[in-house]
């Protein structure tokens, strides 16, 4: 999987060097760290025998193409379609709508929302199933960025997921009268990105 991600990044970097450059467009690569929580329960003979709560993180890589348009005063309106690559439970397509504003010299702010369409994933047999929910996830937030040159910028951001449900698992053993289930949720993400301006 990491070879595919690396190949995709190299492809975008190659295109960036070959395609003629113009103002107001860029390629954006983001890596989010997503906060997750899971709740696990075990039942034996229909009696709850064990339950626990666990916190964790997951990640992936987002690759986007950005268009920026003058909006009002020094504010730019940005549209950012792309794809998010992660484990099968989180993969999907994205489109972001943002406002961008220069703050001081090379420092700028981005605020708005990303809309992620999750493909959803399901696998299982008679005795177990693992599935993730397909559908639309909104994540509003803001980033703070710094331009090293006219071509390269970096930014860090914090975004909140408005829809939390993510993945569900269950398994059953009929011979031992055993049943377990877990529910996982996502709450927020911390993003680190690089922007290659065209």
One DSSP character per residue, 23-78 reads TTEEEEEEEEEEEEEEEEEEEETTEEEEEEEEEEEEE-EEEEEEEEEEEETTEEEE
**Which residue has tokens 């696990």?**
40
8 A C-beta contact, residue 122 and residue 134: no
Task: Please tell me the distance from the alpha carbon of residue 106 to that of residue 153, in angstroms, as a whole number.
Answer: 9
- Per-residue pLDDT, 33: 94
The region that residue 112 occupies, defined by phi over 0 for left and psi between -120 and 50 for alpha, beta otherwise, is: left
**DSSP H or E stretch at residue 152:** strand 152-160
Q: Which of the four pLDDT bands, split at 50, 70 and 90, describes residue 192?
A: very high
pLDDT value, residue 129:
86
Q: Which residue has the higher pLDDT, 14 or 176?
A: 176
Instruction: Determine the 3-state secondary structure of 88 from DSSP.
Output: coil
DSSP string, 90-148: T-EEEEEEEEEEEEETTEEEEEEEEEEEE--EEEE-SSEEEEE--EEEEEEEEEEEEES
Report pTM: 0.77
Is there a contact between 190 and 32 (Cβ–Cβ < 8 Å)? yes
Q: Which domains does the chain have, with CATH numbers?
A: 2-197 (2.40.160)
Contact between 66 and 28 (Cβ < 8 Å): yes
pLDDT tens string 32-60: 999 999 898 888 887 888 888 989 898 99
Confidence check: pLDDT of 160 > 90 = yes
Beta bridge partner(s), residue 54: 38
Look up residue 58 and give its two tokens: 């997951």
* pLDDT at site 188: 92
């Amino acid at each position: 999987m990491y070879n595919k991600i690396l190949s995709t990044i190299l492809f975008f970097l190659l295109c960036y060097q070959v395609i003629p450059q113009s103002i107001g467009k860029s390629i954006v690569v983001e890596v989010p760290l997503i906060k997750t929580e899971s709740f696990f329960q075990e039942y034996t003979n229909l009696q709850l025998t064990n339950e626990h709560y666990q916190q964790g993180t997951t990640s992936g890589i987002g690759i986007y193409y950005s268009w920026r348009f003058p909006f009002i005063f020094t504010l730019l309106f940005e549209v950012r379609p792309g794809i998010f690559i992660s484990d099968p439970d989180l993969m999907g397509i994205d489109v972001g709508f943002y406002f961008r504003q220069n703050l001081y010299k090379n420092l700028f702010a981005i605020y708005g929302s990303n809309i992620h369409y999750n493909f959803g994933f399901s696998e299982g047999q008679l005795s177990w199933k693992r599935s993730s929910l397909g559908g639309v996830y909104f994540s509003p937030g803001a980033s703070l960025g710094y331009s090293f040159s006219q071509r390269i910028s970096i930014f860090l951001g914090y975004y909140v997921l408005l829809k939390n449900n993510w993945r569900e698992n269950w398994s059953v053993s009929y011979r031992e009268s055993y049943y377990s289930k877990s529910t996982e949720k996502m709450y927020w993400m911390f993003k680190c990105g690089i922007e290659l301006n065209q």
